[in-house]
Every structure is written in structure tokens, then in C-alpha cells.
Amino acid sequence: MSVQKLVFGYLPEERPPAWKLLLFALQQILVMFPATVLVALLTGFHVSTTIFASGLATLCFIFVTKGKIPLYYGSSFSYIAAIVSITGAQFGVPASDTLISQAQFGIIASGLVSIVAGLIVSRFGLKSIEKVLPPTVTGSIAIVIGISLAGTAMAYAFGFDTATAMAGGAVQVSDAWIVAMVTLLSTILFSVYLRGVWSQLPILLGILVGYIVAACMGMINFNAIWTGEVISVPHFTLPTISWEAVLAIMPIAIATIPESTAHLFQLDIYVNDLADKKGKPRQDIAGKLGLNLIGDGIGDIVSSLFGGPAGTNYGENISTMAITKNFSVWVLGGAAIITMIIAFFSPIANAVNTIPSAVINGACIYLFGVIGAQGVAIMLNRKVDLFSAKNLAVIATILVIGLGGSYIFKDGMIPVAGLKLPAIATASLFGILLNLLLSIPMGKKSEGE
């Protein structure tokens, strides 16, 4: 008599018990928090407003997609340079309300682009879109997204900023590096060896272990938790018309579509793997690309209406879901609500901010690598022919332009003809155009060629 193996994990529609849901939600918040806050600091947007907008946009995304697509909406790095061109921000210094309001108008325009793209995809179907965005493109972009963040994770794990690391800062065994390695190894060991409910909390547990070690080494300022007022309403601003902001920010939406597509294909693979193991019907998540893009666009609009930056579905959260086999939309909705509450309670936000960069980036060494590995999974799942000269050309150029541009140029912006183009977006567009060009029939080859 065979005994069926118990499979742990939650499909998008499944809801964990309340206490588990809370723990899973906190785990999702921890992995999205640092990047979302960093975007606010870099663009001149208000941190508490950005946090609030992230949660609200996630709830709107879940509502628009009818709870069928488990994704968390956080601030996008792709828009940083375009937004800064409007706000003129200095790190950590909020821009004036006038400049933020102008940038908000540009972000709304970018949201409309995503919505239009989603409507086109919904009209013509996924197969038509795959001619423009084949797995050679989406898989390569996923690899670039994950590995391009490797430098940031390693630099901050060592206790450097990226500029110091790029300048050849001396590598030494610092307190930060010790804490990062403890966090990384704890997270990996928890994800590999824990069973049952605990197997779904490896990132949360790894960060907790790292935090305790950091506290023992005197790296945490607990007094910072209680600075400022306990309750503080986020600084909301309304958009004002600015066609300059539209020209600067709106085109970025076109370049982020491949990134969003790659995220959706990643989810499709991992959700259906869990569905197969649980003996449940497979879910056509990849077929909801149009709905996903519409949700993305509405998320941008909702975020910008309150004074938040443009956003995207976070690879860190997707990695967390893939590692933990927890794709419950209820968990992401809970995380969104808790995030909005955090925006109003300074001690909670301050407590999260006391987590040392070395702890977060120790876990991110694992998370960012998983994002890259998911890109490989996309190509394996779609049976990409890696002996095809066309496929190799597309994959190779996307990887080199995306990764090379991210590492060698400041802030990942490639200077071209007086412009600064985001490396990932540039690699995406180049790969799309190259794939279309190489798909044009050049005449039938004669035998022997």
C-alpha cells in the first residue's frame, strides 16, 4: 500500500490559518522593504508615502486581477533615473512638493502605457505576444534582473556601498560580512532542511538569526526605534500636469513590459509545479499576461495619485514564494495591509529600518540568485534550443548588455548620444528587436549550407 507524500505549500486561492498568514506576510514585507525604501531615498519621494502606496497598489492589483496572480507591487528601479531627472533629488532628501507632483503626472502616463499594452495582449492572445517576447528574451531578462543585483548584495554584505566596492575597496573580514554569511547560511539551511510549516519561513527565520547575531555584535541602535512621533500621517501630494515629466518617464513603461512578462512566466512554472504535486488543476497564469499588465498600470496610477513612485512586481517576493512554495494571494494581501499600517506607525517602520543592511543583503545573495535561476527555468521549461544561432545571439546580447551595463556604468545607466538608458531596459529592447530582425525569412537555405 503506497502512502501519498504530504505536500506543503499554498496555491494562489488557498488561505493559510490566521497565525501562519501573519508570519508569511511579515516574511514578504521584510524582503520588499529595503528596495522600496531605497527607491524613495534615491528619487526624493517621501519614505512613509512610498511604503503606503506600495501596499495600496498591491491591493488594487489583487482586486483588478481577481486574486488570480500572486504578485507584490513595490517601487521600481527602472524608473529611478527618469524620475530623478524631474525631481533633481539628492540621496535621502525629499524633493519639493512641486517637483514630486510633476513626476507623479509622468508616472500616471506610464501606467496608461501598461494598461494599453495589457489590452492589446488580451485582444491578440499570448501566442502573438510570444513572437515578440519568446522565452529566449524573457528568460534572459529574468537572469539579468537577478544577477545585475548581485553586485549590490555583495557590496552591502561586505559593509561597503556599491561605489566603494567598484572603486576597489579592500575586502576584509568585517562585522558586516560575518553577519551576512550567518544570515545567508541560516536561510539556505532552513530552506533545505526544515519541514512542515517551518519550511515556508526560511527567509524570515534567516533574517531573524542574522538580526540576533548583529544585535550581539552591537550593530543595532535600538534607541532609533522610538525617535519621532508614534503616529505620523504620510506626506501625500497630488499630481500636476507636466509634459516634460511625461516625455521623461512614460517611455520607461515600454521597456519594463518584458520584465513583467518574465515575472509572470516564472510564477506560471512554480505555481503549476506545486499544483501538480498537490494533484490540483493547473493554472494558466502565463495566459493572464494582459491582465497582469493592466494591473501593473493601475498600480502605477494608484501609487502616483498619493505621491508614490512607479512600481513593478518584485522579484524578491517571487523568489520568496518559489523557495517557500507559498503563492497565497491572501498572504500578499495581508502583507499589503500591514505595510499600509506601518506607514502610519513610526516605531514599526523604524524597527524594520534597524535591520542592518548586512542582514538583508546576506539573504539577498540567495534571493537574487534564485531570480536568475528562474530565468534558466523559463528557457528549460519552454525547451529553448541552445544550439540555434538565432537563440544564442539573442540570449548572449541581452546578457552582456544587461549585466555589463549594470556593472560598468553608474547606477546601471548606459550613456548613448547624450542620453542615459537603463541597462536592463536597453538589453530588453535590443533583444526584442534583434529577435524580430532574425525572425525575418532570408530565403530557404540550399542543401549542404
What is the spatial distance between Cα 402 and Cα 226, in angstroms, rounded to a whole number? 42
3-state secondary structure of 231: strand
Share above pLDDT 70 across residues of the chain, in percent, rounded to a whole number: 90
Task: Work out the average pLDDT over 228-232.
Answer: 80
| Least confident residue range of 113-122, 158-167, 255-264, 338-347 | 158-167
Task: Work out the average pLDDT over 155-163.
Answer: 65
What is the spatial distance between Cα 62 and Cα 15, in angstroms, rounded to a whole number? 14
Indicate whether 301 pLDDT > 50.
yes
Share above pLDDT 90 across residues of the chain, in percent, rounded to a whole number: 21
User: Which pLDDT value is given to residue 348?
Assistant: 76
Task: Work out the average pLDDT over 388-414.
Answer: 87
Task: Work out the average pLDDT over 93-117.
Answer: 89
Contact 361, 152 (CB under 8 A): yes
pLDDT in tens, 14-56: 898 988 899 889 888 888 877 787 778 777 888 889 999 999 9
User: Which pLDDT value is given to residue 196?
Assistant: 64
- Grid coordinates standing for 210? 542574522
pLDDT in tens, 312-323: 887 778 888 888
Indicate whether 443 pLDDT > 80.
no
pLDDT category of residue 409 using cuts at 50, 70 and 90: confident
User: Which pLDDT value is given to residue 389?
Assistant: 93
Taking alpha carbons only, the member of 27, 80, 15 closest to residue 324 is: 27
| 142 vs 443, residue with greater confidence | 142
According to DSSP, residue 10 is labeled: B
Taking alpha carbons only, the member of 356, 352, 349, 353 closest to residue 49 is: 349
User: Which pLDDT value is given to residue 444?
Assistant: 54
User: Which pLDDT value is given to residue 63?
Assistant: 93
Taking alpha carbons only, the member of 100, 106, 107, 110 closest to residue 43 is: 100
Mean pLDDT of the chain: 82
DSSP letters spanning 307-345: TPPPEEE-HHHHHHHHHHTB--HHHHHHHHHHHHHHTTB
Indicate whether 307 pLDDT > 70.
yes
User: Which pLDDT value is given to residue 167?
Assistant: 45
User: Which pLDDT value is given to residue 57?
Assistant: 93
pLDDT category of residue 81 using cuts at 50, 70 and 90: low
Phi first, then psi, for residue 24 (nearest 5°) are: -65, -40
Task: Work out the average pLDDT over 163-182.
Answer: 64
What is the spatial distance between Cα 157 and Cα 145, in angstroms, rounded to a whole number? 19
**What are the Cα distances from residue 298, in Å, to 155, 193, 302, 428, 429?**
34, 40, 6, 23, 23
- CA 37 centroid distance within chain: 13
pLDDT category of residue 94 using cuts at 50, 70 and 90: confident
For residue 370, what are the contacts with CB-CB under 8 A and spacing of at least 6? Answer: 146, 319, 322, 323
User: Which pLDDT value is given to residue 446?
Assistant: 47
Indicate whether 287 pLDDT > 60.
yes
Q: Tell me which residue has cell 557590496.
A: 155
Outline where DSSP puts E strands in 135-219: none
Task: Work out the average pLDDT over 106-119.
Answer: 90
pLDDT in tens, 244-285: 888 777 767 766 777 777 788 888 888 998 888 888 888 888
Indicate whether 59 pLDDT > 80.
yes
**What are the Cα distances from residue 321, in Å, to 362, 385, 389?**
18, 28, 34
Tell me the whole-structure pTM to 2 decimals: 0.71
